[in-house]
Structure 1
Amino acid sequence: MTFKKSLTDHFKKFSASPFLFVGSGMSRRYLGAENWEELLKRFCGLIGGNYTKIRSQADGDLMKIASILAQSYSDKWWDSDIKGDKEERYTEHLLKKDSPLKIEISDYLKDIHKNTLEEYQAEIELLASSKIDGIITTNWDLFLESIFSEFSVFVGQDGLFSSRNHGIAEIYKIHGCASEPNSLILTSQDYELFRKKNPYLSSKLLTIFIEHPIIFLGYSLTDPHILEILEEIVECFPESKMDALKENIIFVEWSADADEPVLTESIILKTLPVKLIKASSYMEIFEVLSEVKRRIPAHIFRQIKDELYELVVTNDPKGKLYVKDVDDLDGAEGQPEFVVGYGAISKIKKSEEIAKQGIIGVTREDIVRDVIFDSGGYDDTSILINAFPNLIKGQVNISNI
């Protein structure tokens, strides 16, 4: 059996489409972005810092290195030429001691997604056409939202808790985003706070892990931050669902030696079996994802859920009547399998009354009233074809109507 057939058959086990869990390896692959340590070295050099000295002071711990570097930025940035006009542009974000470093990193990452590497354009286009329900990521750059532009974005753990989300057509940036500099999980203090909230994040992600296949891209099987999140989720996972969890988690490990992608099994957290894909290219993976069947596009489904949620919680349609032609359904494939409509109650009821009367059959009095007052709203052809045959049953003539 080919790799694509194996992966396609695996996805058919699920009623929901996949979620992607995306790490920094994807940004390095498609944007040529630095890894975390390279990024810290870059900004250490901008203020003339000695990275080797800082690393030794932090015992090689990247989170501690970031904390020390943030302090150096706080001391030097305000009177340095590298600040440029950022004090004016980021005034509202200059709130904490580590804000200058986070602003510098965010400013750098904001535009990096515009420079995707030419050699991977075909792969990126396939990724953009993937039929997925959502993305979870620890990346700070804006690459994912640039190619899934119709997905809603939730930044940080607080963004997940304080905003309305429906688990469809959404990007969860759990380590923050360059669009909100102070949201970046960067220093040891940031990670300490993140860990305190980990149980809440894990409970939020639990439903996604239960209902969807989760494809990990751009991570190592030994990534401590991801293993920590997975450990929290496993602890929350119902014992009766543990067997299913091993089917839901798919790790994609980049390997230069993999001539063809291979779907096998592996173990993480010492006891948790997962599906493992080793590949040097993601083309075939994204080809499978782009061929996943969806009844309607994910972003339209999210809009429907959002509007229906609004109607349920407010019990108020706000007098809105939205009409959409079938041919205008954005990205719909083939004929839609269902239609959801809502709007002005009076108009809906009127339509229901007319439809109901058409099913039951109008009376002679109804037709006379409509002829005189034009109040029935009937379709002439429907009256002749559907109503008259019932009215003239058993009648020699219909002159007395």
Structure 2
Amino acid sequence: MTLEEVVAKFNTTPFLFAGSGITRRYYGLPDWIGLLTYFAQKVKRDQFAFQYYENKVKEMDNVDKLPEIAGYIEKDFNEEWFKNSHEIRTESQEVQDAVANGVSPFKAEIAAYISSLSVVKSEYKDEVKKLLKIAKNNISGVITTNYDCFFEKLFEGYKAFIGQDELVFSQLQGIAEIYKIHGSVNFPDSIVINQADYQLFRDKGKYLAAKLMTIFMEYPIIFMGYSISDPNIQGILGDIVECLPPEKVEALKKRFVFVDYQSDYTDCEVSTHSLVIKGKVIEMTKVVLSDFGILYDVLSIKKAAFPVKLLRRFKDELYTFALTQQPGPTMQVAALDDGRIDENMLALSIGLASTGVYGLARAVNSEQWYRNIILHDSVYSSDMLLEYVYPELAKQNSWKLPVWYYIKNSDFRSKLAENKAPHSYDEIVSEASIKRNKTAIAGRTAMEIWTDEKDNMFKAIRLLGFLPEDKIDVDQYEQILEMIFEENANILSSLEAPNRSNLNRMIRIFDYFRYGPNKKTP
């Protein structure tokens, strides 16, 4: 059997069940032992720091030792963090804000550390582009135990659910969704890493299994980035198969594909594999390969009729209508007593109405508005965006939306937009903010700041949002913004609020000087 034949038999587009091997590959992130070793050495400043903590759990029987080790490291790390011994704290404002709100310093620093390393390695950019290409129509969703935001950045329009509680207590649509069952760096307190976290996770395992049951029974599941004996997989599958009668377990055989990475393979090998979990045999297809691009190419065969993010939106609005009897922003519903249709039928219209503008005011969010100024990728014209989107969206954003780009490229005259647009630099950046950042900027140009600080992009974009007006070079801002969005077109939707605000400010500066009344021409 070939991989093409396996995918051809899928009844629908698959879910990916992704483990740490995926972002170790693409981001170069450490594995669990590597992560704990890094933080143990920050506490002990010794090459044998991890072994010190490993020795503490040496005599423990019948326990998963890594969560226990993590708990010991966390206790010592937090004590040292509050003392700030050896300058163990990072300068990250996000970390300090998280700790101020009650998050463990250990988890807050782990989130910052992983985020700082989350850049695609150059040798895998082509492979990642293949994954990006199939995200729109060929993948139904993602389940992952990874903390990083690799999939959120790559899969535009997918909704992320963080942690068990959000998964269990949310209405899932089962399409264009990302289930981060061990937490996310965007919410450090959600990270599952120590023994107490894992015990809580196991205590609620049956609830999670029940929630995921529909996904496992309706979609093919491709496990990737895991060892086939990974306890995370074993535990979750164990909870699920416990709830299934034998004939349903048999049905999983056609749905489960396990990707086994082997570095010495030039092609791929397909075979069957059996796994015994809680006394039940689960058969699955095993695919051995080293180049994940082979998998992504083959997955392009199975394509959804519509982009999956639109399918999710349709399902979500239909579900909401069933509960509330109120149609959503892009759905019109004809009443059952409407004389134009049969009395036993319900007529639905989903999408923009024949006028082309129904629901448009709520169809574009601020991230899309900002991004379009750099990428020019909106499907709507500047005329439509100014007339139908700007009034409501600008109001929601305290009238701080960049708008000169749209004014320049529109025949529609919006007096509101022209009045609310910034007419001077200090309407975007206050003099007080410039003074506060003067020492850190140290007289550097925009490109010098980017070159010096780009390994810490969050710091770079913060400083670039506070340059004095006479230091603004609009060409340099354009180059930097294009590099940022070329790396991740969906970066605005994946950033936490403070970093997103800083990047937004950069775009407002660029918009003002490139397209505004005092524009600086190339």
TM range (shorter): 0.7 to 0.9
Pairwise mapping of residues 157-168 of structure 1 onto structure 2 (< 5 A)? 157-168=164-175
Quick one: distance in 1 between partners of 2:182 and 2:7? 31
Cα-Cα RMSD: 2.3
Post-superposition offset of 1:316: 2.1
Q: Contact between 2:148 and 2:184, CA under 8 Å: does it hold in 1?
A: yes
Q: Contact between 2:130 and 2:297, CA under 8 Å: does it hold in 1?
A: yes
Quick one: distance in 2 between partners of 1:33 and 1:24? 8
* 1:65 aligns with one of 66, 69, 92: 69
In structure 2, give the amino acid aligned to 1:129: K
In structure 2, give the amino acid aligned to 1:134: G
* 1:82 aligns with one of 51, 68, 88: 88
In structure 2, give the amino acid aligned to 1:247: K
Deviation sequence 1:239-293 (CA, Å, 0-9, x none): 3322211111110000123232111111112622111000011112101212312
Q: Contact between 2:317 and 2:327, CA under 8 Å: does it hold in 1?
A: no
Q: Contact between 1:6 and 1:263, CA under 8 Å: does it hold in 2?
A: no
Equivalent position of 1:45 in the other structure: 41
Equivalent position of 2:332 in the other structure: 342
Equivalent position of 2:507 in the other structure: none
In structure 2, give the amino acid aligned to 1:41: T
Higher relative contact order (CA 8 A, sep 6+): 1
Unaligned runs of 5+ in 1: 323-340, 354-401
Quick one: distance in 2 between partners of 1:17 and 1:251? 16
The answer to whether structure 1 residue 170 and structure 2 residue 177 are counterparts is: yes
Equivalent position of 1:381 in the other structure: none
The answer to whether structure 1 residue 22 and structure 2 residue 18 are counterparts is: yes
Runs ≥4 in structure 1, deviation > 3 angstroms? 84-96, 343-346, 348-353
* 2:121 aligns with one of 117, 123, 138: 117
Equivalent position of 1:295 in the other structure: 305
Equivalent position of 2:140 in the other structure: 133
* 1:284 aligns with one of 287, 294, 300: 294
In the superposition, relative to structure 1, how do residues 94 and 176 fare at CA in structure 2: closer, same or farther (>3 Å)?
Answer: farther
Unaligned runs of 5+ in 2: 59-63, 343-522
Quick one: distance in 2 between partners of 1:306 and 1:172? 16
Q: SS where residue 317 of structure 1 aligns? A: coil
Post-superposition offset of 1:91: 3.2
Q: Contact between 1:93 and 1:181, CA under 8 Å: does it hold in 2?
A: no
Pairwise mapping of residues 161-310 of structure 1 onto structure 2 (< 5 A)? 161-269=168-276, 271-310=281-320
Q: Contact between 2:20 and 2:225, CA under 8 Å: does it hold in 1?
A: yes
Pairwise mapping of residues 137-148 of structure 1 onto structure 2 (< 5 A)? 137-148=144-155
Q: Contact between 1:64 and 1:188, CA under 8 Å: does it hold in 2?
A: yes
In structure 1, give the amino acid aligned to 2:55: S
Post-superposition offset of 1:127: 1.1
In structure 2, give the amino acid aligned to 1:245: L
Quick one: distance in 2 between partners of 1:111 and 1:20? 25
Post-superposition offset of 1:89: 5.0
Quick one: distance in 2 between partners of 1:84 and 1:245? 46
Post-superposition offset of 1:86: 4.6
TM normalised by structure 1 equals 0.76
Post-superposition offset of 1:108: 1.3
In the superposition, relative to structure 1, how do residues 118 and 351 fare at CA in structure 2: closer, same or farther (>3 Å)?
Answer: farther
In the superposition, relative to structure 1, how do residues 119 and 88 fare at CA in structure 2: closer, same or farther (>3 Å)?
Answer: closer
In the superposition, relative to structure 1, how do residues 350 and 156 fare at CA in structure 2: closer, same or farther (>3 Å)?
Answer: same
Post-superposition offset of 1:342: 1.3
In structure 2, give the amino acid aligned to 1:79: K
Deviation sequence 1:77-101 (CA, Å, 0-9, x none): 01212324457754355565x7110
In structure 1, give the amino acid aligned to 2:105: P
Post-superposition offset of 1:351: 7.3
Quick one: distance in 2 between partners of 1:229 and 1:303? 28
Q: Contact between 2:18 and 2:142, CA under 8 Å: does it hold in 1?
A: yes
Quick one: distance in 1 between partners of 2:68 and 2:310? 43
In structure 1, give the amino acid aligned to 2:5: S
In the superposition, relative to structure 1, how do residues 316 and 284 fare at CA in structure 2: closer, same or farther (>3 Å)?
Answer: same
Quick one: distance in 2 between partners of 1:136 and 1:307? 23
Quick one: distance in 2 between partners of 1:189 and 1:57? 17
Post-superposition offset of 1:221: 0.7
Pairwise mapping of residues 316-395 of structure 1 onto structure 2 (< 5 A)? 316-317=326-327, 322=330, 341-342=331-332
Quick one: distance in 1 between partners of 2:261 and 2:95? 39
Aligned length: 326
Q: Contact between 2:273 and 2:286, CA under 8 Å: does it hold in 1?
A: yes
Q: Contact between 1:94 and 1:100, CA under 8 Å: does it hold in 2?
A: no
Quick one: distance in 1 between partners of 2:161 and 2:116? 19
Quick one: distance in 2 between partners of 1:197 and 1:306? 26
Q: Contact between 1:7 and 1:288, CA under 8 Å: does it hold in 2?
A: no
Post-superposition offset of 1:145: 0.7
Q: Contact between 1:4 and 1:284, CA under 8 Å: does it hold in 2?
A: no
Post-superposition offset of 1:157: 0.3
Q: SS where residue 251 of structure 1 aligns? A: strand
In structure 1, give the amino acid aligned to 2:112: D
Deviation sequence 1:89-139 (CA, Å, 0-9, x none): 54355565x7110000001122432x2111111211111122111000000
Quick one: distance in 1 between partners of 2:131 and 2:148? 17
Larger Rg: 1
